[in-house]
Amino acid sequence: MYFDYKHMNQHFKTKTDLLETVSWADFGFPDKNGNDSTIWIGTEGAHTPCHMDSYGYNIVAQVYGRKLWVMFPPCKTSLLKPTRVPYEESSVYSNINFTCGLSDLQSVGEAHVVELSPGDVLVVPSHWWHYVENLTTAISINMWVPLETDHASRLQEALVRFFVSSTLRTFCMKPETHLLNPNEADLLDLPIDLRQISWCVDQVVAQKVSTREDNSTPNTSYPASVSTVPTMSAGDLQKLLLAKCGCISGSTTKLSPTKSSPLSLEHVIDAFCHPDVIAKVAEVLLSISKK
């Protein structure tokens, strides 16, 4: 069972003292508390599929129990077989099944793997892929921190939404529920509106005008209480995950389509909405809008 991604200010409305006990001051955000946080409560084995968040970066505090995090940098996006099916705004999922049959992981290479215990805090950089699983009953609290690059990400997400909505309206005589995340069930009931894309373009252009180039040297030194997440080879990661799910070593079960799979609407959506393709579309759109 997983009570996941729940905004604390919605579920603890009358518990103002509880909301105020959540503090992100030690991480440079003294004005942020439970009102700006989400909570995740789950039993052993509850997990979040491997995905990448489109906006900001993530600070996660482990409150109770233990949780496994498997992370990959943005440079491995194509290797992780990104998919927008089922479609959900701001989340790009991997087509690799991390819970059973992990043959595709060999081509992905090493991962950054860490087990969080109570009192641990993890910072997940922008656009890093992550698979998360409860090793015991666990509770964690997190906060997403916005970035200037979110304007560009919002434009790309608006383009994906426009394409998915237009495509489903054209080819689906009835709502294809398996193509949409449940929280996007009303997508086809909403009008297609270019104003959102136009607004995003304006925000990106305005940001480029106002943003100064940062030539400062990044600080790569850390206090003793801070460490980087260690790496794990693809082979060791596969052994770890196979041992957890009880699969026979060498199993090839996976979610990604085989070479003999017939072309489907899912394939077309994934091709047009691939992060590399959408980034190029956004780049061309921005150049056209300047003319």
Evaluate whether 135 touches 70 at the Cβ level (below 8 Å).
no
How far is the C-alpha of 147 from the C-alpha of 153, rounded, in Å? 10
Nearest in space to 4 (alpha carbons), one of 130, 181, 139 = 139
Question: Domain 2-147+224-245 falls in which CATH fold?
Answer: Jelly Rolls (2.60.120)
Beta strands in the chain (DSSP E): 2-7, 38-42, 47-53, 57-64, 67-72, 82-83, 91-94, 111-116, 121-124, 129-134, 138-145, 231-232
What is the pLDDT, as a whole number, of residue 250?
A: 47
Nearest in space to 119 (alpha carbons), one of 42, 33, 70, 61 = 61
Render 138-199 in DSSP notation, one character per residue.
EEEEEEEE--TTHHHHHHHHHHHHHHHHHHHHHH-SS--GGGB-GGGTTGGGSPP-THHHHH
Distance, CA of 13 to chain centre: 27
Tokens of 80: 């992780």
Tokens of 95: 């087509």
Residue 216, CB-side half-sphere exposure with 13 Å CA sphere: 5
How far is the C-alpha of 174 from the C-alpha of 181, rounded, in Å? 16
What is the pLDDT, as a whole number, of residue 247?
A: 58
Query: 71: which strand partners?
Result: 112, 130
SS3 2: strand
What is the pLDDT, as a whole number, of residue 253?
A: 43
Instruction: Give the residue range(s) of CATH 2.60.120.650 domains in the chain.
Output: 2-147+224-245
**Residue 42 host element (H or E):** strand 38-42
| Run means of pLDDT, 10 residues per run, the chain, 291 residues | 96 95 96 98 96 98 98 97 95 90 80 98 98 98 97 98 92 71 86 91 88 70 88 91 67 49 90 98 94 68
What is the pLDDT, as a whole number, of residue 254?
A: 44
